[in-house]
Amino acid sequence: MVKIEFDSPEKTEQEDLLSVRLTLEAANRIEEIITSKKSDAALNLRVSVSGGGCGGYSYGFKLVDTKTADDISISNESKPEITVLIDPLSFSYLKGSTIDFEETIEASQFIIHNPNAKSSCGCGNSFSV
Average pLDDT in the chain: 82
Pick the CATH number of 2-128 from 3.30.300.20, 2.170.120.12, 3.40.1530.20, 2.60.300.12: 2.60.300.12
pTM exceeds 0.85, yes or no: no
Q: What is the mean pLDDT of residues 88-109?
A: 91
Selection from 105, 129, 118, 99 nearest residue 3 by Cα: 99
Task: Give me the sign of the Cα torsion angle 91, 92, 98, 102.
Answer: negative
Residues 6+ apart with CB under 8 A from 41: 65
Q: From CA 52, how far away is CA 17, in angstroms rounded?
A: 25
pLDDT at residue 129 tops 70: no
